[in-house]
Structure 1
Amino acid sequence: MSEPPKTRAVICVGDIHGFITKLQSLWKNLEGSLDRSEFETATLIFLGDYCDRGPATRQVIDFLISLPSRYPRQKHVFLCGNHDLAFAAFLRLLPAPADGCGFSEGWREYEASEEREGWFKGEGYEDMHLQGRRWSGKIKVKFNTVKGTEYQGSIYDAGPTFESYGVPHGSADLVKAVPDDHKKFLADLVWVHEEDDVFVNTDDGVKCCKLIAVHAGLEKGKDVKEQLKLLKARDTRVPKVEALSGRKSVWDIPEELTASPAIVVSGHHAKLHVEGLRLIIDEGGGYKDRPVAAIILPSMKIIRDTDELAK
């Protein structure tokens, strides 16, 4: 295979879920995997889900906030994951619905789950986005049969996030405990990111592609331009954003993008899946015994926090 043209490296980092030591080890391994100049000028796309499950959400966000000043020649993109959206919703950081209706309009579609999921009913809940209420609620069913683990407070496993800021799960005091720079970080997260002219090694040689990064993926059977428009606008009229939280509906690349060609990269799915130009980089899935992974383009090399490169 011929050498790809010299171009900026693009590194896509999978879900971190509050594991600061994994993030630090992954970062060292990424740094050791590229020439110094390549790493210092790389584009870093973080695929979302910085909070919940792991014990150190606060430290993870501190680390991410520090990157632009520590690595001023890099480009940093921070995508919003479904967990991050819910965290931001609880802190009342989401933009208001464009139609002028309150967030409470979105509760109705899912209210059959309110009792089982124990939606938050504390201070400020009256006009909170649905996912904020679910995130901070106290789930009645304690065991997650799909994951084979105990829920950590809520359907989102948000308990460790509260604790990392020094308040108990479900406490309205979290709003005061989260520093302003963390609130700004969460408020500024983008729901989708596009890059032009990204090079990638394929079985057919080196291709120059458009790259679309979105936490879960794009829906098949729905107009891609319209999806991108709503994601760029961060349309909070929708109580459950499929591109941030869907599963089967967003697994594949929409057919209209296959002729372009376009890379679609996501995290979210608790899997490492690289098939053609569909990249799903979430080997960790928030499990403490699984690695956090990243992929480097154009080489398509997978780097994990557990690699021995940093030693």
Structure 2
Amino acid sequence: MNQTPVAVRARMARAQDAAAMLGFLERHLWRRTVTDPALLEFCAERLAAGTLRGGMIEEVHNRADDPLVLSAVGASAFVTDEAIAEFLTGDRPMGALDMLLKAGRGEGGILARESDIAAGNSGPGLNLLVIGFAHRYDNPEDPRCRALLARAIGHFVEAHSGFLLKQAAREDPEPVAGVLISSGMREIRRYRLGEMEIALTHRRRDDALPIFPDSITSQILAHAPPIIRFSPAQRGLLELASQGMTDEEIGAALDISINTVKRTWKLIYERVEERAPQVIGPRPAGTAHVRGAERRRHLMSYLKQHPQELRPH
């Protein structure tokens, strides 16, 4: 049977993905069981609140028995100044996992709260800590692995662009570590975890960035303030729409009726027309509104180029 995927797709993890996210990282990165009911509930709550962010990279196969295969997972969080300083100066392997476990046990002063993220995104900036990233391929030279990593790195940029970051830190095995270092992350130290060599990397916003403006590091540290300033409910809908969801799928994911979805879209367009009418484009002569499909296409294109509009402020 052909094992080559026909597509690789990425999406943000939701509360119901907590078990799959943690289980995948346990098997492919941490190599030990850390999940208990309390940690699972904690992560599900934080994913729902947006204070823990997860990426789910799935390979789509052309077969009826198992068309979707979860092939890579990433998890990240915005953390306090004290927490990232402890992570950077600590000498224990998987220090980011230690931070998650401490937060899951109820230790405060580690993960930023929703209000902290909004305030940091409007003022002093945020500390991004990648809790972990792993994929299922043993051979990094496998063409399927290359395609998977390309999409995963692209999704990492999509998931974190638009936030006002003052620094970012992460631990990664090769070849991901090498890609990030070549993009401008600074290697702090390396250690071995079983057969894997892990690099801890870090980058501050005020450090000199690579000359290439489209590098991974440059993209996540670039920032401009939002113009439209959507409400939290509007941002939640738009983030799902930006992942390609239909209105019916958005309603199911947010647990709201299709009428509420449509009403939210109406309020979104009204806000855009009031604050940035050029985004949707001029109305055709003799009509009251730009057609719905055209409005959505223009808005989604704008949000892809201006992800700060989807971030808390």
TM, length-normalised to structure 1:
0.29
Task: Looking at secondary structure, tell me which structure has more helix per residue.
Answer: 2
Which structure has the greater CA radius of gyration? Answer: 2
TM, length-normalised to structure 2:
0.29
Q: Which has the higher contact order (CA 8 A, sep 6+)?
A: 1
